[in-house]
Amino acid sequence: MAAGAPKNGEYQEGKLWFQRKGSTVTIGLTSLATEEVGQVQSLELPDEEEDFEKGDAVVTVDGSNGKLEVTTPASGFVKEVNAALVEEPDIVSEDPLEEGWLVKLEIQDSSDLEEYAAESSEED
């Protein structure tokens, strides 16, 4: 658990983690997800400023064992994408909890995150 997602919370059946700083939420894969998809081969990343509703697919990860659609834990827009992953998608497999983060969202309502963070009462 702690090794899979040492952030503010996880969701999508423990396959995704998020870290919140103010209204910005960084999203990435947990080790459970990287085991499931295998070696990451390519990613479909969104455009910056693109709007999403809670639960929308924001990133598609294509790995050696299959695909995973990454959904948003909250409504908002894309503030930043990890552009390094376009050239080196294997960073996600090698370091999913730090360098391999996927996308940063500017969220509209932090209460969207409460259901996911409820299990994790620890503060960073």
65 domain-assigned: yes
pLDDT classification of 116: cutoffs 50, 70, 90: confident
CATH number at residue 18: 2.40.50.100
pLDDT (mean) for 13-17: 93
120 domain-assigned: no
4 domain-assigned: no
pLDDT value, residue 102? 97
42 domain-assigned: yes
pLDDT digit string (tens) for 48-100? 999 999 999 999 999 999 999 999 999 999 999 999 999 999 999 999 999 99
The phi, psi pair for 117, rounded to 5°, reads: -85, -10
Number of domains the chain is built from: 1
pTM score of the predicted model: 0.88
pLDDT value, residue 4? 52
Sheet strands (E) in 1-124: 9-11, 16-21, 24-29, 40-44, 51-52, 57-63, 66-71, 76-81, 103-107
* 70 in Cβ contact with 57 (< 8 Å): yes
pLDDT value, residue 20? 93
Structure tokens at 6: 């040492």
pLDDT value, residue 50? 96
Contacts with 101 (C-beta within 8 Å, 6 or more apart), sequence order: 26, 27, 28, 82
Question: Rounded to an integer, what is the distance from CA 99 to the centroid of its chain?
Answer: 12
pLDDT value, residue 54? 94
Question: Rounded to an integer, what is the distance from CA 116 to the centroid of its chain?
Answer: 13
105 domain-assigned: yes
Mean pLDDT computed over every residue of the chain: 89
Range of the domain at 60: 9-110
24 domain-assigned: yes
